Structure 1
Amino acid sequence: MSSNDLALARALLAQAGAKRVREAWVDFDVAVDLHVDGLVAPAVRATLESGLPGLDIIVQPEEGRRPKRLLVADMDSTIIGQECIDELADFAGRKAEIAAITEAAMRGELDFAQALAARVAALAGLATGAIQQTLAERVHLNPGARTLVATMKAHGARCVLVSGGFTVFTEPVAAMAGFDRQVANRLEISGGRLLGTVRQPIIDSATKRATLLGECKHVGIGPEDALAIGDGANDIPMLEAAGLGIAYRAKPKAAAAADGHVRHGDLTAILLAQGIARSRWVMA
């Protein structure tokens, strides 16, 4: 955000009925906190997103701890830029078919458990070497992932990766990014080939929310001190349960359910949203 953007933001909020707008730069000409009186949060977000479409807008209450003490993050299309099951399906010659199901499930148009079962069944018989090849050739952390995790840990946060994907991917990704724990589904394998099934119970939206709440108890905090990040419909319950829920390059339903949507910046924008200036980042 530039000084010109700030002036426009103030004018837009005044036109929308704000009684007072105070600013405090988090990082000059990069990110600013606007303290808005007289408008409810949805109106603030709608006003700024429509009037400043090139900026990322996060709306949160003034009270409470800014740097959160818990980060719970989705993996596919959030911490990494890929959907691992789609990439794995490419080795079975079924990527387009599986990717279409993944997209519909993430938009909230299909039951997650049924969509997962259908996609995994399509992989039956695939050699496990495709997993290692996918990891080596196709799975990459999104920009800012390591810095986000390292900085939050340096500020006292616990960091957990929770995914409706598979442990064969979350385990190495969690290690690459520096997460303290990972939670995901387990593919069933025999004789070096996928059986086309996952071990029950599956990790779904309810499990993601339960993981966040369980980790809050583990850390000794309330959900208001937790941060959740995700991109799909199955992330909505944990985004809504966290004190700060941020959608990252997200599907419309997830974006609407979150406190804000990072559409332009990388994952370090989530540090700025917590009031952590670049001078306090741990570059990893």
Structure 2
Amino acid sequence: MLTRLLTRSSPLLPLLSRSTRLMSTSSVGLDVLGAKTALKSCDCVCFDVDSTVITEEGIDVLAEFLGKGEEVSAWTAKAMGGNVKFEDALEARLGLIEPSKPKILECLEKHPFELSPGVQKFIEMLHSKNVDVWLVSGGFRIMIEPIASVLNIPHENILANNILHNADGDYTGFDPEEPTSRDLGKPAALSTIQSSKGHQNIIMIGDGATDAQAKPPAVAFIGYGGVQDRDAVREKADWFVYDFEELTDIVSSR
């Protein structure tokens, strides 16, 4: 599955005009210079996963696999656009699909996720500069761990939601104690990272309104629009990008 994660390809409409958009939006944001400066000196970068590190929303893929795609996608759009509290959307979506552990694992085997273009190279560059990399996601740990393994990110550097199952693998709920299970969970998650690791200069990168909430404690929020181009995120981002290449170039010059 890990090999397929790296090699699987599919057409992405948002990427068709990337070069044009890069030319017109490379300086879009509330504080582009500040974000670039912070990226050049950061000691930690936190990534959202769905529609940022990968080209899909994991819960939507799972819902489609279980025959509940349309209903769940509508809730995902509300959550990512900031139109409903995240915990309400999470509970509603999981209640619709009630994913058992065997079905989740079957979904991962049959529908491995595709990495966003350039993200693996960017993370490799961060690692080469001794920058601590975390995956901070409202998605599910069981679906994120294979992605982390491909990217050489330790599983302990994942802050995400836990789906709960009984001894038979049947769905019983989710862990509400995880900070990423509720609204304003990402700033809480980054605060935990900061206090435990002592980082002073954390960057948050993501495509959703919940990612924008992570500043502070993040010193900069970089919005990513290479998969989902959200107006609400672009308006809140210190720097809004459609590609990881320029970010990689900045880190490489450290």
Task: Using structure 2 for the length normalisation, give the TM-score.
Answer: 0.78
Counterpart position of 2:84: 110
CA contact (8 A) 2:26 2:240 kept: no
Count of matched residue pairs: 222
Counterpart CA distance in 2 for 1:271 and 1:205 is 30
Is structure 2 residue 31 aligned with structure 1 residue 53? Answer: no
- Secondary structure at 2:139 match in 1: strand
- Please tell me the residue identity of whatever aligns with 1:209: P
Counterpart position of 1:134: 107
Counterpart CA distance in 2 for 1:182 and 1:163 is 8
The higher-RCO structure (CA 8 Å, 6+ apart) is 2
Give the strand-richer structure, 1 or 2: 1
Change (3 A) 1:82 1:63: closer
RMSD between aligned alpha carbons? 2.5
- Secondary structure at 1:78 match in 2: coil
Structure 1 residues 171-209: Cα deviation after superposition (integer angstroms, max 9, x where no partner) = 2211112223101111111212223x2112241342311
Structure 1 residues 131-182: Cα deviation after superposition (integer angstroms, max 9, x where no partner) = 1233232412112222111211111211110111111112221111222310
CA contact (8 A) 1:89 1:123 kept: yes
Unpaired stretches in structure 1, ≥5 consecutive residues: 1-48
CA contact (8 A) 1:107 1:251 kept: yes
- Secondary structure at 1:257 match in 2: coil
CA drift at 1:216? 2.7
Change (3 A) 1:220 1:142: same
Counterpart CA distance in 1 for 2:39 and 2:69 is 43
- Secondary structure at 2:117 match in 1: coil
CA contact (8 A) 1:245 1:260 kept: yes
Q: Which one of 161, 164, 169 corresponds to residue 185 of structure 1?
A: 161
- Please tell me the residue identity of whatever aligns with 1:130: K
Change (3 A) 1:158 1:64: closer
Counterpart CA distance in 2 for 1:174 and 1:240 is 25
Mapping of 1:1-284 within 5 angstroms?
53=24, 55=26, 57=28, 59-61=32-34, 66-124=40-98, 126-136=99-109, 137-180=111-154, 181-190=157-166, 191-195=168-172, 197-202=173-178, 203=180, 204-222=182-200, 225-249=201-225, 250-263=229-242, 265=243, 267-272=244-249, 274-277=250-253
CA contact (8 A) 1:57 1:260 kept: yes
- Please tell me the residue identity of whatever aligns with 2:189: T
CA contact (8 A) 2:25 2:240 kept: no
- Please tell me the residue identity of whatever aligns with 1:216: Q
Task: Using structure 1 for the length normalisation, give the TM-score.
Answer: 0.70
Unpaired stretches in structure 2, ≥5 consecutive residues: 1-20
Counterpart position of 1:25: none
- Please tell me the residue identity of whatever aligns with 2:237: A
- Secondary structure at 1:183 match in 2: strand
Pick the structure with greater CA Rg.
1
- Secondary structure at 2:145 match in 1: helix
